[in-house]
């Protein structure tokens, strides 16, 4: 097996959930070149993790039959269908768990791949080391903005406003992180937050990092002492990154309408706070703060 193509068109969180599958593919065919086809910026996370050798934009791939023909194996996480071989050496895997599935989405994708491709056992929890050079570059990037020492990161957005905790509650948590734990607070804002003006109510003195490349965001997240966010791709990224010594980022994930059994990040460094009524407003500030406070000074 020399060339493997993996097609993945999902969002950032979906891609993070697919990392265990990519790790298993890499473990079975360590000498193969793995090309990840999808959105190049998102796919770059797999490349940063050492689980893809190339990133190909889906449009250019779909218009190039030669690229498909060069692959000895194509793992398709874009077209729904039962796992199993198809024409042209393609194995199609369903990226989303079926009704009744109660384990994580990462476990669902990995177990399909293991069954279809006889892949070796690997951990079902997504994780990857951030290279030292990337960590150093992130530290320099932060220092240039006056951010040094211990800091907390907050990402108040997500793919849907229905999954967003009220901003004033994030602001209250940020204030307590500063006052009670002496942490500088960094706010992360992606294109969705900027388009919606999510962070517009924040004061002028706040540290807002907007439109970071995902590789940059991953390195910044690996350096933070504690991360707080909604059910979002950035939250999955925060829970997955590791420093070069293996240290994870303590992560508080706030869930409302989505099922954390399927979609929450996992690990001993993760605390999930779920709304009792499925509405983000149902998560009280004190309840969320209790989990944040447990993690912020916790040695890991």
| Span 226-251, pLDDT tens digits | 999 999 999 999 999 999 999 999 99
Q: In this predicted structure, what is the pLDDT of residue 178?
A: 94
Name the helix (H) or strand (E) containing 35: strand 33-38
pLDDT band at residue 84 under the 50/70/90 scheme: very low
Q: In this predicted structure, what is the pLDDT of residue 68?
A: 62
Is 70 exceeded by the pLDDT of residue 130?
Answer: yes
Count of all residues that appear for the chain in the document? 300
Token digits of residue 189? 């804002």
Superfamily of domain 3-126: Glycogen Phosphorylase B; (3.40.50.2000)
Is 50 exceeded by the pLDDT of residue 63?
Answer: no
Domain ranges within the chain, ordered by starting residue: 3-126, 129-296
58 contacts: CB under 8 Å, gap ≥ 6: 7, 9, 37, 38, 39, 78
Domains 3-126 and 129-296 share a fold: yes
**Residue 161 DSSP symbol:** G
pLDDT band at residue 82 under the 50/70/90 scheme: very low
Q: Which CATH number fits domain 129-296: 3.40.50.2000, 3.40.50.1820, 3.40.50.300, 3.40.50.2300?
A: 3.40.50.2000
Token digits of residue 191? 């294109």
- Predicted model pTM: 0.93
Q: Tell me the per-residue pLDDT of 86-116, one tens digit each, with 9 for 90 and over.
A: 445 789 999 899 999 999 999 999 999 999 9
Beta-sheet pairing, 184-189 with 270-274? unpaired
The percentage of the chain sitting over the pLDDT mark of 90, rounded to a whole number, equals 75
- Arithmetic mean of pLDDT over the chain: 90
- Give Cα 152 distance to the centre of its chain: 17
**Residue 72 DSSP symbol:** S
pLDDT band at residue 46 under the 50/70/90 scheme: very high
Question: Where do we find the tokens 């950035």?
Answer: 234
199 contacts: CB under 8 Å, gap ≥ 6: 156, 167, 187, 189, 193, 206, 208
């Amino acid at each position: 097996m020399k060339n493997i193509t993996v097609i993945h068109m999902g969002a950032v969180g979906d891609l993070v959930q697919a990392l265990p599958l990519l790790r298993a593919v890499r473990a079975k065919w360590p000498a193969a070149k793995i090309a990840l086809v999808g959105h190049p910026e998102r796919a770059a996370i797999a490349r940063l993790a050492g689980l893809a050798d190339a990133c190909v934009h889906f449009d250019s791939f779909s218009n190039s039959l030669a690229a498909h023909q060069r692959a000895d194996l194509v793992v398709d996480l874009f077209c729904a269908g039962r796992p199993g071989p198809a024409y042209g050496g393609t194995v199609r895997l369903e990226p989303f768990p079926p009704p009744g599935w109660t384990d994580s989405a990462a476990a669902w994708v990995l177990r399909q791949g293991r069954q279809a491709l006889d892949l070796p056992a690997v951990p079902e929890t997504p994780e990857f080391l951030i290279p030292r050079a990337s960590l150093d570059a992130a530290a320099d990037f932060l220092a240039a903005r006056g951010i040094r020492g211990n800091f907390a990161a907050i990402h108040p957005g997500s793919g849907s406003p229905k999954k967003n905790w009220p901003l004033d509650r994030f602001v209250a948590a940020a204030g307590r992180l500063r006052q009670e734990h002496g942490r500088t607070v960094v706010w992360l804002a992606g294109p969705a937050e900027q388009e919606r003006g999510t962070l517009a109510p924040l004061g002028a003195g706040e540290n807002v990092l907007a439109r970071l490349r995902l590789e940059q965001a991953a390195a910044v997240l690996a350096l933070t002492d504690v991360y707080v966010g909604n059910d979002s791709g950035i939250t999955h990224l925060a829970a997955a990154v590791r420093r070069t010594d293996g240290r994870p980022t303590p992560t508080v994930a706030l869930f409302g309408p989505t099922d954390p059994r399927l979609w929450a990040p996992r690990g001993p460094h993760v605390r999930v706070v779920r709304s009792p009524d499925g509405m983000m407003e149902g998560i009280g500030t004190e309840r969320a703060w209790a989990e944040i406070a447990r993690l912020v000074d916790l040695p890991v």
